[in-house]
C-alpha cells in the first residue's frame, strides 16, 4: 500500500492490498477501497462510498458527493458502490443516493470519461462507457455495454437499454430500448446498434430477431398495448425476451424513431418545380412525393406511408 505524504486519509477508512493514493487525495471516514485500486492526485472519496478492486481513478474525480437536491442533509443520504476494474477519468462525479437506505451503483469494467456525471440513485451496469461530459440525472438506469457519447444527457428516471448506442449531445427524455441507436442530432432512434451487436458476439439469428421487433415497434399500425402483447407472445427467449421485458416495463415511453428528411436532390427538384409554377398558383396544393428507405433486406425503414411536403 502506498499513501503519499500529502494525501489525507481518515484512520477509519478501510484500504485493501496494493492500494495507491496520490498527493492531495482525500479519503473520508468509513470509505472502503478494494485491492489494487489507484487514486491519482486530487481524487476525493467521500463518506458512504465503497470502491472495489483494481479501479483507476484519475485526477479530480469525486466519488460520493451529496445529491444536488435542495434542502437535503447529509444524514438523509445513502451511499455509492463502485465495482471492480473501472476506469474513472478526470473530474468525473458520482453522487450518493438521496435516500438513507439507497445506493448509487456503478458496475464492473466501466469507463467514465472526463467530466462524466452520475447523479444520485443511478444504476450503471457492467462494461458501460460514458464519454466526455455525458450526464445522467437521478434514478437513470443504464444497461450492460451501453455507450453514451459525449455531451449526451438523460432525464431523471430514463432507462438506457443494454448494448444501446446514444449519439453525442443527444437529450433523452424517454427510454432507449436495448440494442437500438439514438442519433445525437435529432435525439431519436435510427435503427439497431449493429456495430455493438457484432462486437458483442450476437448471432445473425439474434440480429434478424431484433430487426423483426424493430419493425413491429416502429413500422406497424398497432397501438402500444398491441405492440407489447405481440412481442411478448412471439418472442419468449434470448434477445427477443429481453426486448419484450424492457418494452413491457417502460413508464416513460420509448424514444421516437427519426423521420427521414428529403435528400438534397429531392429538395432542389421541388424548389425548381415551385419556381416554374405560373404566377398566381401559390395557393395550389404543394407537391407531394413519397420517400422510401430500405435496409439491406429490402424492408422499409420508414413508417408507411411516408409522404413529405415541400413548402
Which residue numbers are catalytic? Answer: 120-121, 138
Angstrom distance (rounded) from CA 53 to CA 17: 9
Neighbour-count burial for 48-83, b at 16+ CB within 10 Å, e otherwise:
bbbbbbbbbbbbbbbbbbbbeeeeeeeeebbbbbbb
Work out whether the CA dihedral 134, 138, 140, 141 comes out positive or negative.
positive
Q: Is residue 288 within 8 Å of 268, Cβ to Cβ?
A: no
Angstrom distance (rounded) from CA 18 to CA 5: 16
Radius of gyration of the chain (CA): 24
Angstrom distance (rounded) from CA 30 to CA 74: 14
Work out whether the CA dihedral 141, 173, 74, 12 comes out positive or negative.
positive
Angstrom distance (rounded) from CA 261 to CA 267: 9
Strands 189-192 and 180-182: antiparallel
Strand partners, 62: 44, 93
Amino acid at each position: 500500500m502506498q499513501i503519499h505524504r500529502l494525501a489525507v486519509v481518515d484512520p477509519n477508512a478501510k484500504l485493501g492490498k496494493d492500494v495507491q493514493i496520490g498527493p492531495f487525495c482525500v479519503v473520508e471516514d468509513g470509505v472502503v477501497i478494494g485491492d489494487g485500486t489507484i487514486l491519482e492526485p486530487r481524487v476525493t472519496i467521500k463518506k458512504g462510498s465503497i470502491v472495489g478492486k483494481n479501479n483507476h481513478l484519475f485526477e479530480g474525480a469525486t466519488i460520493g458527493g451529496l445529491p444536488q437536491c435542495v434542502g437535503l442533509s447529509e444524514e438523509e443520504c445513502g451511499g455509492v458502490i463502485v465495482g471492480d476494474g473501472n476506469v474513472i477519468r478526470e473530474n468525473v462525479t458520482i453522487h450518493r443516493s438521496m435516500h438513507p437506505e439507497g445506493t448509487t451503483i456503478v458496475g464492473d469494467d466501466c469507463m467514465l470519461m472526463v467530466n462524466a456525471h452520475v447523479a444520485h440513485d443511478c444504476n450503471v451496469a457492467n462494461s458501460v462507457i460514458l464519454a466526455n461530459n455525458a450526464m445522467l440525472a437521478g434514478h437513470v438506469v443504464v444497461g450492460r455495454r451501453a455507450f453514451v457519447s459525449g455531451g449526451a444527457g438523460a432525464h431523471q428516471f430514463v432507462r438506457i437499454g443494454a448494448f444501446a448506442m446514444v449519439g453525442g449531445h443527444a437529450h433523452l427524455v424517454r427510454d432507449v430500448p436495448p440494442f437500438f441507436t439514438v442519433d445525437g442530432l435529432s435525439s431519436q432512434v435510427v435503427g439497431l446498434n449493429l456495430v455493438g451487436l457484432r462486437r458483442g458476439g450476437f448471432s445473425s439469428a439474434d440480429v434478424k430477431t431484433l430487426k423483426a421487433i424493430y419493425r413491429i415497434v416502429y413500422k406497424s399500425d398497432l397501438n402500444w398495448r398491441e405492440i407489447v402483447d405481440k412481442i411478448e407472445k412471439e418472442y419468449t427467449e434470448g434477445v427477443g425476451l429481453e426486448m419484450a421485458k424492457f418494452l413491457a416495463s417502460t413508464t416513460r415511453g420509448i424514444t421516437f424513431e427519426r423521420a427521414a428528411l428529403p435528400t438534397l436532390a429531392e429538395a432542389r427538384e421541388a424548389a425548381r418545380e415551385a419556381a416554374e409554377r405560373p404566377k398566381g398558383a401559390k395557393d395550389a396544393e404543394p407537391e407531394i412525393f413519397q420517400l422510401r428507405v430500405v435496409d439491406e433486406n429490402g424492408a422499409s425503414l420508414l413508417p408507411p406511408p411516408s409522404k413529405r411536403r415541400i413548402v
